[in-house]
Structure 1
Amino acid sequence: MSFSAGQRFAIFGAVALVLAVTRLNVIETTFHFSSIPDASWAMFFVGGFYLRGASRWAFPLLMALAVIVDYIVISNAGLDFWTHYCVTPAYWFLAPSYFALWYGGMLLRRHQNGLTLRTLGLLAATLLVAFSVCFVVSNGSFYWLSDVVSTATFAGWMKNLGDWYLPFLRVTVAYVAIVAVLHAVGVGVTRALGAPARDTRA
């Protein structure tokens, strides 16, 4: 499925909306529901897949949105953004961390071949590798470069990695799985309606 400029903007809008809503926890604060997990990591992977041809503008804009949302959340809590414990030199490592996810989505788009078991395997592999790179860079930069950890040790970092890896992975996989199911349904409906199949690697 190749996308027109309008479709790309629509996809970007949907990805940005999910990122912003879950990162802001708008549903929790507005409707008093329990907190919903942040979908940011999954949305960067999804964005890389669907917006591969628009990466020059889509990734920077999504990255900027993530920072703006963080600024809003921290400021609304009555705290100064620049002195917040999360905003250390490590904070800026989120850019390469998130790009690892974006690039994973791009690779999947380039090498997938429709709704096949091979594509499912590629999805699992690219998501796991891209997630792991993102996690190691973001977690490692925060552990080693922030002032939160008073005495940083390699053993301490390994424990920190182990404590947080699976929880973050579960959330990311869950969101990507939802998008994958919606994608499969969309492709199935398109085929049922007799629309011509098009290259999905563009």
Structure 2
Amino acid sequence: MATTQNQRLGIFLALALVMAATRVHLSLFHHDVWDASWAIFFLAGFWLRGSFRWAFPLLIVEAVVVDYIVISNQGISFWDHYCVSAAYWFLVPSYLSLWLGGSWLARQQPGLNLRGLGTAAVAVLGGWVACYVISNGSFYWLSNSVPQPRSVGAWVANMGDWYLFFLEATVLYIALGLVVHALAVQLSRTLGHAGQSKLPH
């Protein structure tokens, strides 16, 4: 959605900052906050669709570096942490599904109407479902932290235990991002009309 390189860099830096600030689960007021990472990848796909080759890998690297720093500061070896296993690398396709959802939404050019809201809902839920199934499924089936024996029924139950938390956090942050986008588009149009009205006739 961003048209100039400076705009892309500015948006990328803003998204990277939000992800870093929330991924460590600390806010400026020392309260836990929801991790915005899932929403960040969706919004990056929406705003930076044409910059996938550099923006997506950099966001992945940032996520891993933040995780490494946070885990190391707890005095734990990175690979000994509960959340880190062979399944950890499935975060790449998980986050990619969110990016693709945002990119698809950008191609639809949704308007500020019921149809646009419906299109946005399809994109968000589609990307989120794919991300959740991949990330949760890979952790359940590949992580040593999950006790044996494993079964499809237990996996489905596990997804049911966690889906609402991840859905709420993701949808909230994406909704905030899309509201900011809508306001920016409206402001740009208003300024554009104001500039045209000042041109000599």
Settle same-fold status: TM greater than 0.5: yes
Query: 1:195 Cα deviation (Å)?
Result: 5.3
In structure 2, the partner of 1:13 is 13
AA at the equivalent of 2:97: A
In structure 2, the partner of 1:69 is 66
Following the alignment from structure 1 to structure 2, what is the Cα–Cα distance between the partners of residues 108 and 25?
28
Contact 2:2–2:47 (Cα < 8 Å) also in 1? no
AA at the equivalent of 1:148: S
Following the alignment from structure 2 to structure 1, what is the Cα–Cα distance between the partners of residues 92 and 136?
13
Query: 1:87 Cα deviation (Å)?
Result: 1.4
Following the alignment from structure 1 to structure 2, what is the Cα–Cα distance between the partners of residues 2 and 154?
43
> Aligned with 2:76: secondary structure?
coil
2:166 to 162, 165, 168: 168
Following the alignment from structure 1 to structure 2, what is the Cα–Cα distance between the partners of residues 40 and 130?
13
Following the alignment from structure 2 to structure 1, what is the Cα–Cα distance between the partners of residues 62 and 168?
23
1:135 correspondence with 2:132: yes
Query: 1:119 Cα deviation (Å)?
Result: 2.0
In structure 1, the partner of 2:190 is 192
Give me the CA root mean square deviation: 1.5
1:111 to 108, 111, 132: 108
Spell out, residue by residue over 1:113-160, the C-alpha distance to the aligned partner (whole angstroms, 9 max, x if none). 433332211110011011000000000000010011112111110111
TM normalised by structure 1 equals 0.91
TM normalised by structure 2 equals 0.92
Structure 2 gap segments, 5+ residues each: 195-201
Following the alignment from structure 2 to structure 1, what is the Cα–Cα distance between the partners of residues 110 and 32?
37
> Aligned with 1:31: secondary structure?
coil
Following the alignment from structure 2 to structure 1, what is the Cα–Cα distance between the partners of residues 141 and 193?
52
Name which of structure 1's ranges 117-126 and 6-15 shifts more when overlaid on structure 2.
Answer: 117-126
The structure showing larger relative contact order (alpha-carbon pairs under 8 Å, at least 6 residues apart) is 1
Contact 1:8–1:51 (Cα < 8 Å) also in 2? yes
Size of the aligned set, in residue pairs, is 193
Q: Which has the larger radius of gyration?
A: 2
Query: 1:25 Cα deviation (Å)?
Result: 2.7
In structure 1, the partner of 2:197 is none
